[in-house]
Every structure is written in structure tokens, then in C-alpha cells.
Amino acid sequence: MSLTEQTATELLALQAAGKASSAEITGAFLKNIAERDGTIQAFMRVDADGAKAQAAAVDAKRKSGAKLGALAGVPIAIKDVLCTKGLTTTCSSKILENFVPPYDATVIARLKAADAVIVGKTNMDEFAMGSSTENSAYKTTRNPWDTERIPGGSSGGSAAAVAACLAPVSLGTDTGGSIRQPASLCGIVGIKPTYGRVSRYGMIAFASSLDQIGPFTHDVTDNALLMEIISGHDPHDATSIDRPVPAYTKTLNQKVEGLRIGVPKEFFGQGLDSEVEAAIRAALKEYEKQGAKLVDVSLPHSNYAVAVYYIVATAEASSNLARFDGMHYGHRTKQKADLIGTYAKSRGEGFGKEVQRRIMLGTYALSSGYKDAYYLKALKVRRLIKNDFDSAFEKCDVIMGPTAPTAAFKKGEKSDDPLSMYLSDIYTISCNLAGIAGISIPCGFTKSNLPIGLQLLSPPFDEERMLRIARMYEAATDWHTKRPK
């Protein structure tokens, strides 16, 4: 296997054994980027010089005998929604085209403290609104398994970068599925941690009550490793929770005995592709083979999840994005206008169609006279969705089902139909509304060789057990070892 097909854990071991330096590893990934990213278009910006300098610094640190961080010398790609000091952070939006953050997001600071090598910033749907990266103002990322198809979104660049071996690991964000859905479509592992597990400080907010940052990796072991590094309390984020972070990698290979898997009938209804369903059923069989029991559970309010999400998320977005007005933040129009006109023109030029659509929807849902009917009602239904999970988890340890209703779709297939695009998150959205944790792991391929993802959902702050459960399946299968040609 070439260096770039290895996992982060393997790359750490190679360095520790003196078989590869970070300079060699980083060089190999930069070479892949140079050769392949013209097709894949995963990166908004590659920081080759910064990455080489950091790799050299890690190699020197190793030589000196100093203690190295947990991700020492391993390249990582970062979704362009996370602030990186000195490195443009655009949210793939024209309105932030020239934004260079003066500070690092907490997750970035933690990666740097772990001696990771940041190789660049990845493409995404503008402000993380979308499921295909087609809403990026700059480019559409391609699925490494079939470049006619999209990688999913909104963290499509980060997912494609790992799948195409342009970086061994990356970070994304998940507000309604934006880590799990692209992980599923690209055949890799992606986790949406419990709300409050990972600090959101320095993540440019989309919908603050739903947003979480999480890693993309080839396998569950790397995912556990990344989670150990980025999780934990942060005084800069009032919603981050002050509880200890388990040593996820330590317990990972301990099987969960007497495992009860909840299978919600709502996740196997109309709209689910038959090949996807077959792969999920086969994965459940594998768990049964390992002694797990399948339990029927019901999430009766999940039918409302997409509707509730598109009220709550757009309402929060309309408020969060108000700061980009050409005065306080963001692109300012060159056209002559008065104050209000300048706001309007700057925003009209700076925001793409989908972002404008969401701002309008959210503003409407919050406006006086409609707030009770839409926003407050949606919050009540959100509570019912959370209650459904609470009752389901009384009967099971984990819930399983498909991550996405179909494998990767073709570029352009859904871009003119927002509703059908919104439905690609039908199985992922309720997890964010309930604030629980979820992970997507590879569980097979369609006949046309497109990856399929199995979704695991767990009670809040139960990532340690969820990762172990994910690992049980992974240890018995080899989907996670496949790489696209």
C-alpha cells in the first residue's frame, strides 16, 4: 500500500518506527493533490508551504526527542467553515471571499497542539447549506468513486479529500447530516458528535442549536483518535459541556455484550433505494451473527423532521447571517447606494441563491404574526422528536438504519429541485434536532460500485460505546479498506 492509502493510525506507526518522516508523508499527499484535485476539486485552498514547514517542524521535534502530539506529522484537511489563523476561510461564499481569520477555531488550536499538519481548506456548500457541494460559489466537488456524481454535502470537499487519498483525515461540520451523508456517499467514516461534545468556537455558524464539528476518516479507529483530540469543554463556547472525554481509542476493540439494536420502521419506508436497504439489512445480520438482538422501535415524529429542520435551521441562519452586511463583515458592493441600499446590494452580490432562499424562509418564520405558527410550533415538534429517541433508547443501546436514502446521485440531478435535495437528509436530520450522536460507516457498494453507509445513532455522550459498536462491524468486514481507483 502506498503512503497515501494508509490511515492516520498507520502513518503514526510508520513515523514512530522510523519508516517514514512527516516530510515524506506530507509530500506524498501534496503530490496526490497536485495530480488529482484538478478532477476531484475537493480543495478551496491548498497550503503546501505551510504544510511542508509544519512537517519539517514535527520531524525536527521528533529528532530532538521531545514529546510529540497525538496526531504528530499527519496531514489533515479542514472544511472551509472553520477559522484558521492566517488562512482564508470563505464558507465557499463570495461574501467571505477575502476573509482571513485573525484566530484559530478551538478544534484547529487542538489539532495544532497535537502536531497535526494542516494541508488546506476544503470546498463545501455555501455556508454549509446543501447536500451535494453544488451550492459552493466556486466549484462542485466530484465523488472519487464516480466523478460524474457528487460527493454529498455540505462537507463534500472534506469527504472527497479523504476518499480520494488527498488527506488521510479531515474535519467537517454537521447541522443536518453534512458529515454523515457525504461520508456515506464517499465510502468513509464520519461522526456527528453529541451537541456540546466538541467546541463550536471558530466555526462560522449556520444553525447554532444544531451545528457540530466532527472528523472524516477511513476507519473507526482513526475516528476515535480524532474525537479524543477535538472533544472537550471550551470556555469560549457556552454550549460546550464540561464532562471528561473518554479515551475512545483505548476501549475501541472491546465488544459490546448483549447489544440491543433498535431498528425504526420509519427508516425503511418509501423512498429508500432497494440496494441500500439490502446492504443495511445485511449489516444488521452481521451484528446478529455477533450476538446482537434486533428490537423494533418507532420514531413516530420523524416524518416531521425535515419540515421542522427547515424552519429551525433557516430561522437560526437568518439571524446568524445578518452580520454579513458589507459593513460589519463580508463583501461590500462597489455600487453607489445609501446605507440600506449598501446592505441589500452587498448581500445580493455576496450570497448565492440557496443562502438567500434560506434567509428569506427563516426571516419569514421568525416574523411577527408568523413566529407562533411556524418557529414556536417547530420547537414543540422538535421536542417530540427528542422524546421519541428517549423512549426508543429505553429499549435499545443503539439505533441503526441507512445514512442516506440513495447512493451518490449525478451532478445536476437534484440541483433545480430544492425539495428533493432536502430529502437526502431524511435519516440524518432528526439526530441534530435531538442533539444526540450519530456515525456513518461503510457497509457495502451498489452494483455500479457506489458506496453505501450504515448509520448508528446513540444516546447523548455515548460516543464511546457507539464507536465500539461501529468497530464490531468494521472488524468483521473489509469495506473500509477499499479505495477508489
- What are the catalytic residues? 79, 154, 178
Q: Phi and psi at residue 341, in whole multiples of 5°?
A: -60, -40
Establish if 215 lies at the interface with ligand GLN (CB under 6 A). Answer: no
Q: Phi and psi at residue 407, in whole multiples of 5°?
A: -75, -175
Establish if 126 lies at the interface with ligand GLN (CB under 6 A). Answer: no
Q: CA–CA separation, 2 vs 5, rounded Å?
A: 6
Binding ligand GLN by CB under 6 A: which of 151, 176, 182, 246?
176
Nearer to ligand GLN, 206 or 389 (CB): 206
Residues 71-90 that bind ligand GLN (CB under 6 A): none
Nearer to ligand GLN, 33 or 437 (CB): 437
157 half-sphere exposure, CB direction, 13 A CA radius: 34
Residue number, nearest CB to ligand GLN: 178
| Number of residues near ligand GLN (by CB under 6 A) | 13
372 half-sphere exposure, CB direction, 13 A CA radius: 2
- Give which of 135, 175, 131 is closest to 154, Cα–Cα: 131
SS3 string, 411-456, reads: CCCCCCCHHHHHHHHCCCHHHHHHCCEEEEEEEEECCCCCEEEEEE
CB of 346 vs ligand GLN, minimal distance in Å: 23
Establish if 106 lies at the interface with ligand GLN (CB under 6 A). Answer: no
Q: Phi and psi at residue 268, in whole multiples of 5°?
A: -130, 30
Binding ligand GLN by CB under 6 A: which of 10, 134, 234, 425?
425
Establish if 131 lies at the interface with ligand GLN (CB under 6 A). Answer: yes
Establish if 158 lies at the interface with ligand GLN (CB under 6 A). Answer: no
Residues 287-316 that bind ligand GLN (CB under 6 A): 313
Beta strands 75-79 and 117-122 are parallel
Establish if 130 lies at the interface with ligand GLN (CB under 6 A). Answer: yes
Establish if 444 lies at the interface with ligand GLN (CB under 6 A). Answer: no
Contact between 316 and 309 (Cβ < 8 Å):
no
Nearer to ligand GLN, 310 or 473 (CB): 310
Where does this chain touch ligand GLN (CB under 6 A) — which range of 128-136, 365-373, 436-444, 450-458?
128-136
Q: Phi and psi at residue 421, in whole multiples of 5°?
A: -65, -45
Q: Which residues bind ligand GLN (CB under 6 A)?
A: 128-131, 154, 174-178, 206, 313, 425
